[in-house]
Amino acid sequence: MRGAKSFGEMLDVPRALREQLGAAYRLTSLRTVAKSEADRSLTTKTLYELDGGHTVEAVVMRYADRSTLCISSQAGCPVGCPFCATGKFQFGRNLAAHEIEEQAVDAAWLLKTEGRRLSHVVFMGMGEPFLNYAAVIDSVRRIADPERLAISPRRIVVSTSGVIPRIEQLSQEKVPVTLAISLHAARDELRNVLVPINRKYPVRELVAAAEDYALDSGRRVSYEWVMLAGVNDTERDAKEVGRLLRKRLAHVNLIPFNPVDDTPYAAPSREGVRRFKELVAAEGLNVTVRDTRGREADAACGQLHERIAKQREAAAIT
Ligand code: SAH
Ligand code: SF4
């Protein structure tokens, strides 16, 4: 029986065998340690404990025409972007392919109980997918497998801070996922600070590699731009991103910063978002603003983990 949550539910299997299976095996290695809901239950965020004790998050977002899961590929992240909650705590470990897949299986099960179907998966949770490349590609193949979750690779988005060799390798895999590049700045000087991996893989070379992927796969690349008020949302930034991406197979996705404690950054105002969007559009680029779904659910990657870790610390102190 497909989609069962326990061996006990598998009524097409003889009872004795069900009991034996239940005693010897488990259906998932993930243990749910916390859940939070937001947007009138349209968003559900789950914190899972992995074997060995590290925790990762996954977020289900329900829309009228689709249901999207945001998934984690690493416990923590070694890239260390200064605005990101995940980058703030110590790197734990890479996830195995089955641990990534199990997040999707759990979400598919939850949605099924609501009469919905998991339709999209985005690698925008904790971790840098291309620093755990083999497991991520393996998990993509599993999630896309018609015998498993059957989600078309086109509906799977892999977001990277810019590991150029892996972008090149991705073209060879023949799994036509949608590639998202976390750009955030168009000049090296600023991007070196916001996305430290830029010191190794500079922005022009990154965009050239992404463009090659776009041409090979025929898929437009999505460039993510987290908006940090006064830092990367100025007229100068709009002009620079215009120069960098004009005439490319590109789409710019503005993400208003979701405030993280102990960072020097602030979210832009509504007016600030509108103005920067217009400036970028005036450069001739395709640009949209990502909705801030899940803000109350500790939305951006690493934030639920952070809250629970703080609660645990507080509990240990008192
Ligand atoms: N490590 C990968 C994928 C996970 S992060 C990457 O960086 O692309 C997914 C997206 O969320 C990235 O574009 C990241 O920059 C963005 N992000 C991280 N922290 C955020 C925050 N506090 N507010 C808004 N977006 C954030
Ligand atoms: Fe890692 Fe992405 Fe967060 Fe940067 S934004 S620290 S790459 S998870």
Residue in 70, 77, 84, 301 annotated catalytic: 301
pLDDT digits (tens, 9 = 90+) for 53-104: 999 999 999 999 999 999 999 999 999 999 998 888 789 999 999 999 999 9
Exposure b/e, 256-290, CB count within 10 A at least 16 = b: bbbebeebebebbeeebbeebbebbeebebebebe
161 vs 20, higher pLDDT: 161
| Cα 130 to Cα 296: distance, rounded to the nearest angstrom | 29
Catalytic residue among 57, 99, 101, 224: 57
Closest residue by CA, ligand 1 atom 16 = 226
C-alpha 159 to ligand 1 mean position (Å): 8
Specify whether the CB–CB gap between 196 and 182 falls below 8 A: no
The string of pLDDT tens digits covering residues 211-259 is 999 999 988 999 999 999 999 999 999 999 999 999 998 999 999 998 8
> Candidates 56, 72, 83, 84: which one to mutate for ligand 1, based on the most atoms within 8 Å of Cβ?
84
- Ligand 2 first shell, C-beta below 6 A: 77, 79-81, 84, 86-87, 127-128, 161, 182, 301
Do the Cβ atoms of 161 and 195 come closer than 8 Å? Answer: yes
d(CA 299, CA 35): 12
Of the ligands numbered here, which is closest to the C-alpha atom of 89? 2
Answer yes or no: is pLDDT of 315 > 90. Answer: no
Ligand 1 binding pocket mutation candidate from 301, 304, 306 (most atoms within 8 A of CB): 301
Q: Which of 124, 179, 223 to mutate to test the pocket of ligand 1 (most atoms within 8 A of CB)?
A: 124
| Cβ contacts of 256 within 8 Å, gap of 6 or more | 226, 227, 267, 268, 273, 289, 290, 292
What pTM was computed for the model?
0.92
Amino acid identity for residue 236 in this structure: R
**Contact by Cβ (8 Å): 131, 78:** yes
Q: Is the pLDDT of residue 299 over 80?
A: no
